[in-house]
Chain A
Amino acid sequence: MKAPLSWIREHVDLPADLTTEQITDRLTALGLKLEAIESPGSEITGPLVVGRVLTQEPEPQKNGKTINWCTVDVGDANGTGEPQGIVCGAHNFGAGDLVVVVLPGGVLPGGFAISARKTYGHVSAGMICSAAELGISDDHDGIIVLPEGAGAPGDDARPLLGLDEEIIEFEINPDRAYALSIRGLAREAALGFDAPFRDPAARDVPAADDAGHPVVIDDPDGCPLFVARTVSGFDPTAPTPDWMVQRIVAAGMRPISLAVDVTNYVMLELGRPIHGYDADKVAGALRVRRAAAGERLTTLDGTERTLHPEDLVVCDDTGAIGLGGVMGGESTEISSSTTRVLVEAAHWDATSMFRTGKRQRISSEAGKRNERGVDPAITEAAADRVVELLVAHGGATAEPGVTVVGSVPARAAIEIDVDLPARVSGIAVDDATTVRHLEAVGCAVEVIGPRLRAVPPTWRPDLEDPFDLVEEVVRVVGYDQVPSVLPTPNAGRGLTRPQRLRRRIGRTLAAAGCVEVVSFPFVGDAALDALGLPADDARRATVPLANPMSSEEPGFTTTLLPGVLRQAGRNLSRGQAGVALFETGSVVVSSGPVKAPIYGVDRRPSEAELDALLAAVPAQPLHLAAVLAGEREPAGWWGPARTAGWSDALAIVRRLADELSVAVDIRPAALAPWHPGRCAEIVAVGGASPVVLGHAGELHPRVCAAHGLPARSAALELDLDALIAATPDVPPAPRFSTFPVAKEDVALVVADATPVADVEAALREGAGPLLESVRLFDVYRGEQIGAGRRSLAFALRFRAPDRTLTDEETTAARTAAVALAAERTGAEQRA
């Protein structure tokens, strides 16, 4: 809400010495948020005065233009009292007119300095100004001609133009709709400074009768009150008075024509949107009803709309002629030939207004007020005020009839404990203060023992609940009075285990040289295609958004890989030789259409309802993805650079599993976007049944290329929820022997296709309980071994818990290990 301060001050007796800042600070403390203080004339410096055009001589120029050589009386403002010679290009004025002149030495908005200069064969000493040049409006049509009697030559023109005004703009919260008016702002200022308030809506209105334009309300819930007045003999060419234009412009609206400007002016002044019809175009009685399904209406903005059965319409005998409270219709629009104006001031159901505005995508000043709630008690006053202004400025005559159909809805009282404001705010507010402040905001208050009954004022539809009254009391007392007291909750239990482990996972990745990134979790076919996911891949099943940011990325992501791969590509394109990134975040794989219930809010949902609700929300496992691309280790004095590859991804997986004490199996797998021969499935094996945690390995060459990543780039993606679930609650302490270790090395020749993990598992099982560890320390290929085969060298360590092992025992265990490996994997011991 924008308003000139002078307009507000008209309705509240604020001390003259209050500064604008003091006023806005106080209003902010009461709950109106200051957006800006504008002073439109502040950019204009130097002499800006009233001038009377004495002579005006048109002089055609060679370039085809005609300029006017004028002499202008500017009184003593130029220091000489002599007429000022000024060249002017505009033609919408003549000798004898009062105009606005900026004299040499003046500066106009944009730093445009005025000086006497030679032009078109004259010395032009100043400028006759247009509204656009003064920054008042966008109107370039011509220079400003002041009404006769507005001032005398030489007078400062600023006050006449509203340029000495300060315009304050507040952001109005949805609960303070009453502040979308001068009336409401003045009332708040009166409250803030305990100053007398003069209600602009307080006026004697003529009594209702049956002589006015007939009105029928079919839907009193949607429209509880409808006031109609008519003026005739209206002069459609009558200009809007300058002061009204200035105020409308200052409030951020556009002046259109007197009839429209008057309705807008009254809306700004009182907060009640008004609609004016061309009375001669209205056929028969006005009727308020809900629209018929499929009913059509062309609104003032020229849009033909299909109406919804919930939309409220105003009709005449021809059908719908307006969307009640939202926008009028084209067929009865006031035009340049309108001489009878039918004025509608009606009270509308706020919810209907909101729904219609949303459905029809109409956002208007009227709709903004009607959907938040307008004071129903001023409906007649608002109509009367419009009639008054049309009569005063449009030469119209008020027709005698006054139609009032319906009534002001009654307000229910709110009951609270008198000390509730003190109890909720923590401020020591005594009962008398509570009563005084509630009365100051307009409530009718009655105290009955420890209880208080307050009937909220008609302009405060937002006051419904006990705590609403608390806020009113506290904001008047002042939010700055709230003391600071640290609560002392019961002892907490610290972070949960998953919370702690997630931190640890992040630190582990960072310690491994990976940098964390965050990505928008939106995905589309392009990104999934770039991963090479087959059509039936589960990760293609994204949950679609109804209103995605981009139609290219219409779904919530099922995998974090697109994000990390894209960011890796960006880092490389910005000159990094290598990059290791990771991200953790939720993913959602669709398991069918999503449909969650909506319950009432007057009670807690039952356990069954709550279960149904929580179950309807798709599962959103937390994932971890990482990518390693380009140099993993840079070239240095230690040797050449080492490029990231499949083993780097698996090294991270193993490190993570070790950090969390999760036993994992690494198994060959083939899954996009990984290289089918260099992809591993990670399986947690410590629990009752194995759980696939995710995959790691080298990316498919086509995936690397699609993301601008070098060949051999590696990636991993794990389900962190599953990983964390696989961690042992309390890892048991290890028990280890201090007897001497017995070491045995074996070299086993196996086919290339035989996984090391299988050989190792067989050795482990075959060696039995004396085996302490087994570690692969060399892989050898060569002629002696034969093509398609490799020799695996394992170091076995044996130890018993209670004795030093004999050579025989060690050899027996080793032999058993090799035998089982041979049986399971065909391994041959190398000579």
Chain B
Amino acid sequence: MSGPNTEYDPVEVTPLQAAEVEAARDAALAAIAAAADLEQLKAVRLEHAGDRSALALANREIGALPPQARKEAGQRVGQARGAVNQALAARQAVLEVEHEERMLAEETVDVTLPTDRVPAGARHPLTTGAELIADIFVAMGWEIAEGPVMEAEWLNFDALNLGPDHPARTMQDTFWVAPADSGVVLRTQTSPVQARSMLTRTPPIYVACPGRVFRTDEYDATHSPVFHQVEGLAIDEGLTMAHLKGTLDHLVSSLFGEGISTRFRPSYFPFTEPSAEMDMVCFVCSGSTLDAEGTGPCRTCRGEGWIELGGCGVVNPRVLVACGVDPERYTGFAFGFGIDRMLMFRSGIDDLRAFWEGDVRFTTAFGSEL
């Protein structure tokens, strides 16, 4: 290692002269400012701040100066190099932003291009509708019970107080599994699930049974041989018609909105006594009977103010006996209504057959509503 070059006359070391340093600095600053992009700035950095740049060389000369001169020269060169590096960094930042902006601009795409590469699927409104109803019951603490669509005649009829000669059997035209005395039918109602629930569970029982049912109806805009019902059954100590009404009021207000309630009209079903038809306040006119303009009758309820929902009542003690529930200790209530029909009202579906035709334009339209 050599010692300081004490022979060297600092005054004579040109690169360290103030003018030279300043010139080198200015040249560098000018070049930095002139750099148009990151590539040029890279070249500028090499030329003006690289190992072989004027300021780097000058810096290397400092060591050769006599100690008394080093400080001043060091300060001069250091300040110049600092200014250059600062300018480089600043310019770098500016150019990087510019570069990014340019790149992003260049990468612009037309986001309005269609992206429906795999067309949307959808679940059927009868499925999602039944789930919606099931969820309301589950939220009340009920459970969802199920049973087969091909059902024992005894469970579909006899156990529900529809004996072989009961006139009500003619009210429900039944699909019979051959031979006609097979004792098996396509269930005409979801009520056999009630019977199954009572036969296989221990009270208290709170179950809702959505499902597919069959009757030998003609197939037209308002009838179908296959349709869907949901049935509710509660068996507990001390249940009354008031609990039935409370449950139905909660159900319809959950489905159709606050303020929608039900009313009962006396009716007849073999499996309930007392029996009632249940109507709900028309959810379109809120019972006003008028259309939106207030000039004509409401089209949804045909000016009735009420919409027929289905049948209900107190479980006939004969049904409890046949299903092994002690009628002295327990009472129960049951109700049932058509899911298809309710959805037709709710969504303004004019023709029941739309459910069955499978046109994807129909099914996909329900989206997330249900």
Residue of B nearest to A580 (CB): B121
Grouping DSSP codes into helix (H, G, I), strand (E, B) and loop, the B interface class, with mixed when no group exceeds half, is: mixed
- Give per-residue flags for A487-529: 1 if the beta carbon is below 8 A from chain B beta carbons, else 0: 1111111111001000100110111111111111100000000
Complex contact A487–B267 (CB within 8 A): no
Which listed residue, A499, A547, A586, touches B216 by the CB 8 Å rule? A547
Complex contact A516–B123 (CB within 8 A): yes
Q: Which of A384-392, A598-606, A723-731, A783-791 contacts B (4 or more CB under 8 A)?
A: A598-606
Q: Which of B22-81 contact A (CB under 8 A)?
A: none
Q: How far is the CA of A601 from the CA of B270 in the complex (A)?
A: 13
Q: Which of B115-130 contact A (CB under 8 A)?
A: 116-124, 126-127
Complex contact B176–A579 (CB within 8 A): no
Contacts of A596 in B (CB 8 A): 152-154, 182-184
A597 at the interface (CB under 8 A from B): yes
Complex contact B264–A520 (CB within 8 A): no
Taking A470-B274, A570-B357 as contacts, is the C-beta distance between A426 and B242 under 8 angstroms?
yes
Contacts of A598 in B (CB 8 A): 153-154, 158, 164, 183
Q: How far is the CA of A176 from the CA of B275 in the complex (A)?
A: 13
Q: Which of B9-17, B82-90, B290-298, B314-322 contacts A (4 or more CB under 8 A)?
A: B314-322
Q: How far is the CA of A546 from the CA of B150 in the complex (A)?
A: 13
Q: How far is the CA of A546 from the CA of B186 in the complex (A)?
A: 11
Complex contact B234–A482 (CB within 8 A): no
Contacts of A484 in B (CB 8 A): 242, 245-246, 249, 261
B180 at the interface (CB under 8 A from A): yes
Complex contact B144–A499 (CB within 8 A): yes
Complex contact A468–B273 (CB within 8 A): yes
Complex contact B245–A579 (CB within 8 A): no
Residue of B nearest to A568 (CB): B358
Complex contact B357–A567 (CB within 8 A): yes
Q: How far is the CA of A568 from the CA of B364 in the complex (A)?
A: 15
Complex contact B165–A465 (CB within 8 A): no
CB A359 to nearest CB in B, in angstroms, measures: 12
- Give per-residue flags for A649-674: 1 if the beta carbon is below 8 A from chain B beta carbons, else 0: 00000000000000000000000000
Taking A493-B143, A499-B144 as contacts, is the C-beta distance between A512 and B246 under 8 angstroms?
no
- Give per-residue flags for A561-587: 1 if the beta carbon is below 8 A from chain B beta carbons, else 0: 000000110110010101111000110
Interface size classification for chain B: 35 or more
- Give per-residue flags for A465-482: 1 if the beta carbon is below 8 A from chain B beta carbons, else 0: 111101100110001101
Which one of A474, A479, A506 has the greatest number of beta carbons of chain B within 10 Å? Answer: A479
- Give per-residue flags for B183-210: 1 if the beta carbon is below 8 A from chain A beta carbons, else 0: 1101000000000000100001010000
Q: How far is the CA of A490 from the CA of B245 in the complex (A)?
A: 19
A617 at the interface (CB under 8 A from B): yes
Complex contact B266–A471 (CB within 8 A): yes
Residue of A nearest to B159 (CB): A601
Taking A506-B123, A571-B358 as contacts, is the C-beta distance between A372 and B167 under 8 angstroms?
yes
- Give per-residue flags for B305-324: 1 if the beta carbon is below 8 A from chain A beta carbons, else 0: 00000000010111001111
Q: How far is the CA of A507 from the CA of B120 in the complex (A)?
A: 12
Contacts of A31 in B (CB 8 A): 265-268
- Give per-residue flags for B129-168: 1 if the beta carbon is below 8 A from chain A beta carbons, else 0: 0010010001011111010111111110011010111011
Q: How far is the CA of A427 from the CA of B245 in the complex (A)?
A: 12
CB A376 to nearest CB in B, in angstroms, measures: 18
Complex contact B316–A467 (CB within 8 A): yes
Complex contact B165–A424 (CB within 8 A): no
Complex contact B321–A602 (CB within 8 A): yes
Q: Which of B320-357 contact A (CB under 8 A)?
A: 321-324, 331, 355-357
Complex contact B360–A579 (CB within 8 A): yes
Residue of B nearest to A354 (CB): B165
Contacts of A632 in B (CB 8 A): 118
Residue of A nearest to B165 (CB): A351
B276 at the interface (CB under 8 A from A): yes
CB A369 to nearest CB in B, in angstroms, measures: 12
CB B260 to nearest CB in A, in angstroms, measures: 12
Which listed residue, A483, A486, A549, touches B250 by the CB 8 Å rule? A486
Which listed residue, A468, A506, A556, touches B150 by the CB 8 Å rule? A556
Complex contact B246–A487 (CB within 8 A): yes
B1 at the interface (CB under 8 A from A): no
Contacts of A487 in B (CB 8 A): 206, 234, 236, 239, 243, 246-247
Residue of B nearest to A480 (CB): B263
Q: How far is the CA of A173 from the CA of B266 in the complex (A)?
A: 10
Which listed residue, A499, A513, A547, touches B120 by the CB 8 Å rule? A513
B240 at the interface (CB under 8 A from A): yes
A796 at the interface (CB under 8 A from B): no
Residue of A nearest to B263 (CB): A480
Complex contact B151–A28 (CB within 8 A): no
Residue of B nearest to A617 (CB): B152
B177 at the interface (CB under 8 A from A): yes
Contacts of B303 in A (CB 8 A): none
Which listed residue, A470, A570, A593, A601, touches B273 by the CB 8 Å rule? A470
Complex contact A474–B241 (CB within 8 A): yes
CB B163 to nearest CB in A, in angstroms, measures: 7
Contacts of B242 in A (CB 8 A): 425-427, 482-485
- Give per-residue flags for A19-33: 1 if the beta carbon is below 8 A from chain B beta carbons, else 0: 000000000111101
Q: How far is the CA of A31 from the CA of B318 in the complex (A)?
A: 22
Complex contact B363–A517 (CB within 8 A): yes
Taking A425-B240, A546-B177, A596-B154 as contacts, is the C-beta distance between A486 and B247 under 8 angstroms?
yes
Complex contact A599–B154 (CB within 8 A): yes
Which listed residue, B165, B176, B324, touches A545 by the CB 8 Å rule? B176
Taking A426-B242, A570-B359, A601-B318 as contacts, is the C-beta distance between A495 and B123 under 8 angstroms?
no
Taking A31-B267, A465-B317 as contacts, is the C-beta distance between A595 and B121 under 8 angstroms?
no
Contacts of B161 in A (CB 8 A): 601
Contacts of A520 in B (CB 8 A): 225-226, 356
B3 at the interface (CB under 8 A from A): no
Contacts of B138 in A (CB 8 A): 492, 494-495
A70 at the interface (CB under 8 A from B): no
Residue of A nearest to B234 (CB): A487
Taking A486-B246, A487-B243 as contacts, is the C-beta distance between A543 and B321 under 8 angstroms?
no
Contacts of A176 in B (CB 8 A): 268
Q: Which of A244-252, A314-322, A633-641 contacts B (4 or more CB under 8 A)?
A: A633-641
Complex contact A597–B154 (CB within 8 A): yes
A175 at the interface (CB under 8 A from B): yes
Complex contact A613–B155 (CB within 8 A): yes
B103 at the interface (CB under 8 A from A): no
Complex contact A549–B150 (CB within 8 A): no
Complex contact B322–A482 (CB within 8 A): no
B277 at the interface (CB under 8 A from A): yes
Contacts of A118 in B (CB 8 A): none
B256 at the interface (CB under 8 A from A): no
Contacts of B363 in A (CB 8 A): 515-517
CB B362 to nearest CB in A, in angstroms, measures: 9
Contacts of B266 in A (CB 8 A): 29-31, 471, 474-475, 479
A610 at the interface (CB under 8 A from B): yes
A336 at the interface (CB under 8 A from B): no
18 A-B contact pairs sorted by A residue (CB < 8 Å): A176-B268, A354-B167, A426-B245, A467-B317, A475-B274, A486-B250, A488-B141, A489-B141, A512-B121, A515-B121, A516-B124, A518-B124, A518-B356, A520-B356, A549-B216, A599-B158, A617-B151, A632-B118
> Which 9 A-B residue pairs are closest in the complex by CB-CB distance?
A426-B242, A604-B324, A567-B358, A426-B240, A31-B266, A596-B183, A173-B268, A471-B274, A517-B358
Instruction: Give 20 A-B pairs besides A465-B318, A512-B121, A638-B117 with Cβ atoms closer than 8 angstroms.
Output: A29-B265, A31-B267, A174-B167, A424-B331, A426-B243, A485-B245, A493-B143, A496-B144, A518-B358, A519-B358, A520-B356, A545-B176, A556-B177, A594-B178, A594-B182, A596-B182, A601-B161, A604-B323, A633-B118, A634-B117
Interface residues of A (CB under 8 A from B): 28-31, 33, 173-176, 351, 354-355, 358, 371-372, 423-427, 465-468, 470-471, 474-475, 479-480, 482-496, 499, 503, 506-507, 509-521, 543-549, 556, 567-568, 570-571, 574, 576, 578-581, 585-586, 588, 593-599, 601-605, 610, 613-614, 616-618, 620, 632-634, 636-638
